[in-house]
Structure 1
């Protein structure tokens, strides 16, 4: 989960010092990269969890603790991403309801 948050905080672009704004194209590219990084991180944790679970089922892994920790990490990162998605959609809907 901390990798997910670190990926987001590292990908935020600095604001242009002269105008205190970034261009819409840069903002869109930044958002797309951040989203791709976050989804990739969630997918990676899910794949690691599946691999460890399958290895445990085959008898290749003897340490159940590692398997359970990987499964919990995958579960938490997925749940976090779903909650972030809900918050983003709620914020978008709130913006769309604003009167100009």
Structure 2
């Protein structure tokens, strides 16, 4: 097991969280663009648009659940007595 300093662990967590948020944003953008193309009549395949929408939705839900777990963990740590 690699030992990290608190600053290294914090930076690694920050990078991972930032990447996850960027991924959610990218999926949402793809879904929005596909929906706009469908509305303009430019999309050829409705199934692809629906799949992109579901992927974006699932990615967002997973990110929200991870956020909730992080907040719960933080609150539990703050309740601990030293």
**What band does the TM-score fall into relative to the shorter chain?**
over 0.9
Structure 1 residue aligned with 2:31? 49
Distance 1:95 1:28 in 2: 16
Q: Number of paired residues?
A: 82
Paired residue for 2:5, among 12, 23, 26?
23
> RMSD value over aligned CA atoms?
1.0
Shift of the alpha carbon at 1:47? 0.3
1:21-71 deviation line (CA, Å, top 9, x unaligned): 211121111011001100010000000000000000001102100000000
Match of 2:73 in 1: 91
Which residue does 1:64 correspond to in 2? 46
Distance 2:43 2:15 in 1: 35
Structure 1 runs, 4 residues or longer, greater than 3 Å off: none
Instruction: Quote the offset at 1:78 in angstroms.
Output: 0.4
For structure 2, list consecutive stretches of 5 or more residues without a partner in the other structure.
none
**Normalised by the size of structure 2, how large is the TM-score?**
0.95
Q: Which residue of 2 aligns with 1:9?
A: none
